[in-house]
């Protein structure tokens, strides 16, 4: 389902004309010298669209550095004066919004922990009423697309039309490759549901590791995201926060140089013809897949009737395991990833069980209806 937000295209409110769009700067503003020196080196690369810096830092545990506070806004002002770069900060309360706007900050962003809390988002939205400032909304820490969209709606309802989302990945439990799981599917769903919404990727927070930033940034651009926010510090080894994921301005410049930018729209006629030919093949195969899935469901329903007449349980673990094994083996022989085949089969099996459930419990349709409405 498509959602209509009242959004202005990104290139009308970020007008640097630089490709790709890169918002960069230290995780935290630590000292005036650190911020201004980093900003100057970033500006000198000629590749940066806006300068970011955390002033108020929501930290998971107490006792950690929680941001330099309002004084940092003065430093940002100086960095802007000396580099010409527009500035961006995270806001988490109405007071932050008021102070940031009073200090001339150009872009505000709502952090992942704030997005997870509708009361906080509403407080920020209320403080933004009547203001025409760009706002970016990070995904919530938990993988909840509705919460992300809800936060964007609240900010949009406050009259903010210069709106973008930031994809910074999702918290997960235990040791994982990334600091925050990108769960690309969620960002793709957001793009599908709100096609006009620009999405900025945050590879620093996804990876938590400077060596992987280029890899994730490339993936983001390949998925048609509109820009990146990357943490950069004049000397990451002494950074007060998130040292492992910050890069020097020079390293950031290399990361940007190594990106391959691709376009969503196809311009050349030859490429477009070839693509159309291959897409026609895919369309035919998709039709066949759906046709075969429908045939399979029909047989599952016949089995369901048989099970009902003979009092046999729906779930047949041994048969299911046999199907899983033989089909993933077959898939492997055809160069399909086993995990992918398994997921696909699981989806089919779950639907098959749902249909047999309806047959075995005929007369209980109202219960099913109530459940789907709940």
Ligand X SMILES: O=C(O)C(=O)C[C@]1(C(=O)O)C=C[C@@H](O)C=C1
Chain residues in the site for ligand X (CB under 6 A) = 300, 303, 314-316, 319-320, 323, 349, 352-353, 356
Residue least distant from ligand X (Cβ):
352
Query: How near is the Cβ of 348 to ligand X at its closest, in Å?
Result: 7
d(CA 334, CA 323): 16
CA atoms within 13 A on the CB side of 341: 16
Least gap, CB of 337 to ligand X (angstroms): 20
Nearer to ligand X, 74 or 321 (CB): 321
Q: Is 171 exposed, middle or buried (0-12, 13-18, 19+ CB in 10 A)?
A: middle
Question: Shortest approach of ligand X to residue 358 CB, angstroms?
Answer: 13
Q: With respect to ligand X, which residue has the nearer C-beta, 223 or 323?
A: 323
Smallest separation (angstroms) from ligand X to the CB of 299? 8
**188 vs 360 by CB, closer to ligand X:** 360
> Quick one: 177 or 302, whose CB is closer to ligand X?
302
Whether 37 contacts 66, CB under 8 Å: no
| Cα gap 121→150, rounded to integer Å | 9
Minimum CB–partner distance for residue 365 and ligand X (Å): 20
Q: Which two tokens stand for residue 9?
A: 């295209």
Contact 145, 186 (CB under 8 A): yes
Nearest to 201 by CA among 91, 193, 186: 186
Looking at the Cβ atoms of 133 and 297, the one nearer to ligand X is: 297
Q: Which residue's entry shows tokens 């994921």? A: 245
Min dist. Cβ of residue 287 to ligand X (A): 21
Q: φ, ψ for residue 109 (rounded to 5)?
A: -130, 150
The nearer residue to ligand X, 259 or 345, going by C-beta atoms, is: 345
Check: CB of residue 53 under 8 Å from CB of residue 100.
Answer: no
φ, ψ at 51 (rounded to 5°): -100, 125
Token readout for 236 is 């990451």
CB of 369 to ligand X, least distance (A): 23
Name the residue nearer to ligand X (CB basis): 279 or 319. 319
């Amino acid at each position: 389902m498509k959602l209509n937000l009242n959004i202005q295209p990104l290139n009308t409110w970020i007008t640097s004309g630089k490709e790709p769009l890169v918002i960069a700067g230290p995780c935290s503003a630590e000292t005036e010298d650190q911020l201004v020196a980093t900003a100057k080196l970033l500006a000198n690369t000629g590749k940066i669209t806006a300068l970011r810096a955390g002033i108020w830092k929501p930290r998971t545990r107490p006792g950690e550095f929680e941001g330099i506070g309002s004084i940092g806004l003065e430093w940002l002002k100086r960095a802007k004066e000396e580099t010409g770069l527009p500035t961006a900060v995270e806001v988490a309360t109405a007071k932050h919004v008021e102070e940031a706007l009073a200090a001339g900050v150009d872009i505000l962003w709502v952090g992942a922990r704030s997005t997870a809390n509708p009361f906080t988002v509403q407080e920020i939205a209320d403080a933004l009423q009547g203001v025409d400032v760009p706002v970016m909304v990070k995904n919530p820490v938990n993988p909840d697309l509705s919460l992300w969209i809800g936060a964007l709606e609240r900010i949009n309802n406050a009259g903010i039309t210069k709106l973008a989302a930031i994809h910074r990945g999702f918290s997960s439990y235990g040791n994982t490759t990334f600091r925050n799981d990108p769960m690309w599917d969620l960002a793709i769903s957001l793009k599908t549901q709100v096609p006009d919404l620009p999405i900025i990727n945050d590879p620093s927070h996804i990876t938590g590791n400077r060596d992987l930033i280029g890899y994730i940034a490339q993936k983001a651009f390949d998925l048609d995201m509109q820009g990146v926010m990357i943490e950069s510090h004049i000397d990451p080894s002494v950074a007060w926060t998130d040292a492992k994921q910050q890069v020097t301005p020079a390293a950031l410049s290399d990361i940007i140089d190594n990106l391959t930018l691709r376009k969503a729209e196809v311009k050349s006629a030859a490429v477009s013809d070839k693509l159309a030919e291959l897409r026609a093949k895919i369309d035919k195969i998709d039709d066949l897949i759906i046709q075969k899935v429908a045939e399979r469901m029909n047989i599952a329903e016949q089995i369901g009737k048989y099970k009902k007449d003979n009092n046999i349980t729906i779930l047949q673990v041994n048969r299911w395991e046999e199907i899983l094994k033989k089909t993933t083996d077959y898939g492997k022989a055809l160069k399909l990833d086993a995990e992918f085949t398994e997921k696909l089969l699981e989806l089919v099996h779950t639907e098959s069980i749902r249909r047999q459930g309806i047959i075995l419990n005929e007369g209980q349709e109202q219960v099913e209806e109530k459940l789907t409405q709940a």
